[in-house]
Structures are given as C-alpha cells and as structure tokens.
Amino acid sequence: MQTAASLHPAQGVRQVQVGPERDGQRIDNALLTLLKGVPKSMIYRLLRTGQVRVNGRRAKPDTRLTDGDTLRIPPVRSAGKADTVAPSSAQLAELEHSIIFQDRHFLVIDKPAGIASHGGSGVSHGAIELLRAARPQEHLELVHRLDRDTSGVLVLARTRAGLLGLQAAIRDGAVTKQYLCLMLGQPAKGKFDVNVPLRKSVLQGGERMVRVTDDGKPALTFFRDVESYPGARLMQATLATGRTHQIRVHAAHIGHPLAGDPKYGDREANKRFRELGLHRMFLHAAHVGFDLDGRAYSFSAPLPEELKAFLDTLAVQTPAARPRRSRAAPTPLPAVRRPARRK
C-alpha cells in the first residue's frame, strides 16, 4: 500500500495510507497535491461521483483526513506527464548538497541562484520538485518562495504541523527575513526604511510586474548599511512584509536599484557590472528566524562565492567613498511586525 506522502503514478485503483503529515487536512486539498497535473475540476468530479473514498465511505470535499485512514484513489491521467523530462542526477545532487538543516518539521536549503522555488512558466523543475524527486518517500511543501535569481535560505515543511505553524507565523509578522543586496549608488543615509504600497500585475505574456501605487498592498522594508563600494553599497534589507519583488521595487523606487536586476534595474549599470564579473542579480536571502512550539529556529546562508568575488573586483576599481567594513553575516534583528492594513 502506498502512503499519502509518496504517491506515484500507477495503474488501476490505488489504496493510500494517510500519514501524520496529512492529519486534519481537507481531502480536496490533499488530492490537489497528491494528483499533480490533474485539473481541479476533475478532482471535484471524482469526489462528487464517489470515486474517491475514505475507509470505504464516500467523502465530501471538506472531509478531514485522519492519520491511519485508507484513501481509495481511482486511476486518473495527469495532463502533460508524458512530456515531462526527469531531473538529472546532477540537479538532484546539487539540491541535496545545498541542505543546511533538517529536523522532523523542516528541511532548509541554501538555494543557488538560477533555480526557481517551484516549476511553472517554462520551468520544468524547481527546488521543490527536485527535492521531492530526490526524496520520494517524504512529504515536502514550500513554506515561502524566493525569486529564481535570488540565492539563500529557503524553508520547506516536512510535516503539516510545520507548514501551518510557519505559515501562521509569517502571516502574523513573527518571522525575521533578512537579505543582502547591492544597491546602485550611495544612499544618503546608512539606515532607513521604505514604506510604500505595492501592486502586482501580470502582463500579456505572463510576466509579473510590481509597481508602487497608492491603492496597492502595504509594504515595508528596513535597510541598513553594511559596506560601501565604488558606485554601490552593500545593504542589509529586513522585510516587515513579504510582497512579490518587494526589495527590488523598493530599492528602485528610491533611485538605488539592485545591481544586476534585469527587470527593475539600470541597464547601463548592469552592463558595466557584467564586465566586472556580475552575471546575476545581487540579492541573497541571508537569514530566516522564527519561534515555533517553544523552539527558536535560526537559519543563515553565507554570501555565495561568485558575489564575494565580484565585490573584491569592484572594491579595487577606484578608492571607496567610505571605509570598508567586514562582510561577516549581519547581526539578525528581532522579528518585525507588518504595518497596519490600509482601509
């Protein structure tokens, strides 16, 4: 009998044993994750017609699963499965090597730049798909996301309790998320915040763009000076909210876009930086911290070697405007509360 954490395509009816990671989960939500690629309408049709059963009994979409239940799943065909290319062993090894922490509830990686958090929009395999392929017996879910070109700490849940607990902490603003970023130019202050609302839109080609608008969602970022370089400054950015592209848009809004940012950055400056060896966006998730069930979790990832090398190259171009300081990981700040909602 298969488990609900390790469901694989198979012929005929499957009997699936529900594990503790799905205890209390609605059956429709469980099926959406178990039957990847199956249209939502098909899943609800299976439930409505009684083809999916729990312990031999018909189930409604809001039926809650319990550890130890037996789930009957009829044969279904996932759209596009035949065209899916299996991840390479090198990809799987790279993600396994990037793991920096794991316990009963969480698995944490130092995500390399260039790997998406999840598949979609032309991306066959993101970090979550690769880790699921490398660990087929585990139940893994993304708790939050990083942009494809952003490296650093990415937290995945191994249990439903971990997933829901950390998602609740994120909603409550009780999670510290700190990034290292290189801003173009020299901000006037070494410590400041940007508190302007953001609105996300999707362009005709499916590209996501975020803009500062008065009717957007509240967004607050705290910036702190780490080190100065010729024509740029390394900053620590701490999120009070977690909007899409928040740091990138806030930096561009104040006239100091991130180095290497292809969407919101300065094209000419990016060209100069490429000539000096910067071939990615300079944004790195350096630290994530939170408390859960009486335990304090704290994860840090050092600045990648390619970014360190670029800073060393940049430092010797011309004399720095200010004395340079150590690039040691910045001291984590306490969790920050998100701003009040706009009415």
Give the integer Cα–Cα distance in Å for 138 and 95: 15
What is the residue type of 116?
A
Q: How many contiguous H segments (helices) and E segments (strands) does the chain have?
A: 8, 17
Distance CA 258, CA 40 (A): 39
Catalytic position from the list 28, 69, 110, 147: 147
261 is catalytic: no
* Helix pair 27-34, 40-48: axis angle to 10 deg: 130
Here the contacts of 97-101 (C-beta below 8 Å, separation 24 or greater) are: 100/153, 100/299, 100/301, 101/299
264, two tokens: 């919101």
Residues 6+ apart with CB under 8 A from 249: 198, 210, 211, 212, 243, 264
According to DSSP, residue 123 is labeled: B
Quote the CA–CA distance of 23 and 25 in Å, as a whole number: 6
Q: Which residues are catalytic?
A: 147
